[in-house]
Each structure stands twice: as structure tokens, then as C-alpha cells.
Amino acid sequence: MSHNTFGHLFRVTTWGESHGPGIGCVVDGCPPGMPLTESDVQYWLDRRRPGTSRFVTQRREPDQVKIMSGVFGDDRTERQVTTGAPIAMVIENADQRGRDYDDIRDLYRPGHADYTYDAKYGVRDYRGGGRSSARETAARVAAGAVARRVLGDGVRIRAALVQIGKIGIDRGKWSWDEVENNPFWSPDTEAAKRWGRLLDETRKDGNSVGAVIEVEATGVPAGWGSPVYGKLDAEIAGALMGINAAKGVEIGAGFEAAALTGVENADEMRAGNDGKPIFLSNRAGGILGGISTGQPIIARVAIKPTSSILTPRQTIDRGGKGAEISTKGRHDPCVGIRGAPVVEAMLACVLADAKLRHRGQTGN
């Protein structure tokens, strides 16, 4: 689909601007009978919420979700389940400060969508980026929470940051537990410390840095995805590149695959006890020919540095005249940090859609 809807059978539509009354989404096509409450969704929203450490924006948003439709709680069964009808969710914008943006309403911030929205539409909601704000991603996370229910407990989706600025992690020290213990989603304790120092310095300089997020989905059975224009990797690439500030996506070995030989790159197989193959490596990142192999699905996303920075930059105004701009306000010094739950959510949505479509076509 185009514009503000994505997915085919599991389909998500989002709406809302940064400084309007709220944001929200409609999740359509959900299987009926799945338990779903507001707290199920809230759990994931809380992981993305701003203001949780000094390394992210200080905007104070409780991000309290309200489910408006598509679930029904029968007093006899005493639990609330999906009905198969569209699930509408609304999150109010609590901490709006539209006035903060008066200074820049006629200026185009470099690296931002300010100029392109004006070029396309001839009008834009300049308050906090309007529709292009990272705030929109809360609606994605809410939808992702529903997608996880569709996938069930057998599929586990987890993201981690593997690089901030020029500092990468040591993959030998990877610990998923550690990801929960630092404000950077870092699987490597040591890297987290170095990132903390980098970000303190970056903020002090009125600057920002980029990041790379890695996401993994385990438990996906072989067979999901639809060649040739509904390839699972193509849909993942589209979904992840559509996240604010994303500039690159790779699956499995990714760009490194270009430097490998066919002998190195082949994920050899040997017979497993259940008749299924045991793969001896996973350079494919769990996808071959656009269809899942049963191995973990692995993707990485490059996130550019936050474009809203204090350091003055050269720009033009709406009238086409030269100007200088310095973006004040409450911005993430590394927007990639809060991107991790968004990346998880988008992967969950793509996989939920792939699951339902696979079932539709094949009955499995």
C-alpha cells in the first residue's frame, strides 16, 4: 500500500502530527480471538517512551495508549480478545509546545523534511516536524505490539544497537541480557560506557551522531515470504528504510557479502534429525529467494545523526532567501537510540503480514 498504510492482510494505518491533539493507528486484518489489552500494548510503548534517560529527548510524553475498537471483553470469559474488526488505538499528545517552533516556521532545517514537504504540498505543519516527526513512530510500536500477538510466543524479535558514531560493539561480548541494563540497547557493556561518554560530549557540542541498529527474529518457520515482488527481505528493507532517519538496510551478511566469494558465502546444510536442514552458517540472514529459511532473520539499519542540532547551519527560508539556522528544542542527540523498539515493531508487522499471507495461499 502507499502513503500512510502498509501491509496486506495485516495492515497498519497511522495518523497524527507531533503537536496536534494526538497520534494513532488502525490495525486491520488481525485474527480474532487473541487476548489483547491496553497494557499489552503499553508495555512496548514504554520501551520507546522519551525522557527515560539523559541521552534522549526530554519531551515528557506519558504515551498512554487507548484501544478504541476491535476488542471485546465478555464478562463470562473475563478476558478481552480481538474480534477480527479493526483495532483503533489513540495516544494523546500531552507535552505540546508548538510555540517552540515559531522561530523556524519559515526556515528549512538542513537534513529535515521541511523543504520537501513544502515542495510537495505547498503547506506544512511546522510544529515539531508535523507528520515527519519521530513521534509518529509511537503508532508503529503500538501496531507492533499487536503484530507480536499475531506471531505468537514462538517468534521472538529483539533489537540492539551495534554502533553509535564511529564506535562499534565487540560482537564477541554480545549479551541480550545486557541490552536491558543500559540506556543504549547495547549488547556490549563496554561499548555502552564509551557511548555514554560520546553522547555527553556530542550534546555539549550542540551536535548529534548516527547509529546502526541490528534486529533479529527467531522462531520464524521456513516458508514465509512471497517471490518475487513480495519477498520477505524486500518488505523488511522497505519497512526499515521507511523509519525516520534510516539511510541503509542490510540482511544477513549485507554489504559484506559483496566482498565474499561464493564458496565463503554459501550457507552449507547438513541433515537434521527432523528431516529439516541444519545450516552451518547464516550469511543469508534467514532468507533465501525472498522466503524464510527457518534460521534467525537478521537485519541492520543505519540511522543518520539527528538533523535538529544547535550548531548553526546555512539554509534558506520559504521565500528562497539565505539564512542561518540553529535548532533549539528538546531533541535526541542520537535518534538511533529510541529507534530500536521501532525497528522491532516494523519487523513484527512485516512478519505478521507474511504469516497471514502464507497461510492464505498455502493453508499452512
Smallest gap from Cβ 190 to a second copy, in A, equals 19
Residue number, 178 or 353, with CB nearest to a second copy: 353
Indicate if the alpha-carbon torsion angle 78, 80, 81, 85 is positive or negative: positive
Smallest gap from Cβ 154 to a second copy, in A, equals 15
Region of 157 (left: φ > 0; alpha: ψ -120 to 50; beta: rest) is beta
Residue number, 115 or 174, with CB nearest to a second copy: 115
Please provide the DSSP assignment of 146-163 as one string: HHHHHH-TT-EEEEEEEE
Grid coordinates representing 215 are 534486529
Residue number, 111 or 177, with CB nearest to a second copy: 111
Smallest gap from Cβ 202 to a second copy, in A, equals 7
Beta-bridged to residue 317, according to DSSP, are 107
Residue number, 157 or 232, with CB nearest to a second copy: 232
Smallest gap from Cβ 210 to a second copy, in A, equals 4
SS3 call for 107: strand
| C-alpha to C-alpha distances, 144 to 218, 224, 261, nearest whole angstrom | 16, 18, 37
Question: Distance (Å, rounded) from C-alpha 222 to C-alpha 202?
Answer: 44
Smallest gap from Cβ 189 to a second copy, in A, equals 21
DSSP 197: H
Residue number, 166 or 177, with CB nearest to a second copy: 166
Smallest gap from Cβ 169 to a second copy, in A, equals 13
Beta-bridged to residue 72, according to DSSP, are 81
Question: Distance (Å, rounded) from C-alpha 145 to C-alpha 122?
Answer: 35
Residue number, 45 or 349, with CB nearest to a second copy: 349
Beta-bridged to residue 324, according to DSSP, are 314
